[in-house]
Amino acid sequence: LLRSDRLQQIHIFSAILDLQKDGIEVRDVSAEEAEAQLNLALTGYTEQTVSNLMQTYVTANESFPKYMAILSKAKSSIGWLCEAINLVNNVGQQHLFIDAIRTAITNSGLPNVPVSNLLGLNLFVVKRWDELIDCAQKVFSETKKIAMNNIVEKKWNFILETIIACHFSSNDGKSLKK
């Protein structure tokens, strides 16, 4: 027994109606029956889509404040680097720290880390941090421009912003929802 989903049924019955409009007879299916089946499939598909969108809306609405808090915290939390540099400097382990950071950064995809001392490391990380924040702000700004062109309904804008904030968070893809 073959089963089809509602979207497939919509395509099938739309095609049958198109064939019948072009004068091609489809065996065992009247135009009225095809129209009724198409309307039934459309109604079911619409209900399913609205249900899925509402579920997405609820999930995003619950998560959005958390993601925005993370983004806000990220914008103002570069101070940990200064604390780490001071600690390493005080214990005289600069070269080990720099090597460990350089290796970690290189292993994460940046091929050349031009750092030979703590000041260079600080400048490099702060520069990359600023680039990340600028990138996140540009993505948000461009998303708002798209939304202002009424491509998506205004009430769904926050879903896009939530997705963007999620991609810039450091949770390794794990849900922040508790």
Residue 110 domain-assigned?
Answer: yes
Q: Per the domain annotation, does 28 fall within a domain?
A: yes
* Residue 173 domain flag: no
Q: Which residue is it, tokens 């029956």? A: 33
Q: How many residues would you count in the chain?
A: 178
* Contact present, 78 and 129 (Cβ < 8 Å): yes
Contacts of 169 (CB under 8 A, 6+ apart): 67, 70, 71, 74, 176
CA distance 118 to 124: 10
Instruction: Give the percent of the chain with pLDDT over 90.
Output: 12
Q: What is the pLDDT of residue 177?
A: 44
The verdict on residue 1 lying in a domain is no
pLDDT, residue 17, reads: 92
Mean pLDDT of the chain: 77
108 domain-assigned: yes
8 Å CB contact between 176 and 70: yes
Confidence at 65, pLDDT banded by 50, 70, 90: confident
Residue 152 included in any domain: yes
The number of domains in the chain is 1
Indicate whether 46 belongs to any domain: yes
pTM of this prediction exceeds 0.85: no
Domain with 12, as residue range(s), is 6-168
CB 115 within 8 A of CB 98: yes
19 part of a folded domain: yes
How would you classify residue 92: left for phi > 0, otherwise alpha for psi between -120 and 50, otherwise beta? left
pLDDT at residue 170 greater than cutoff 70: no
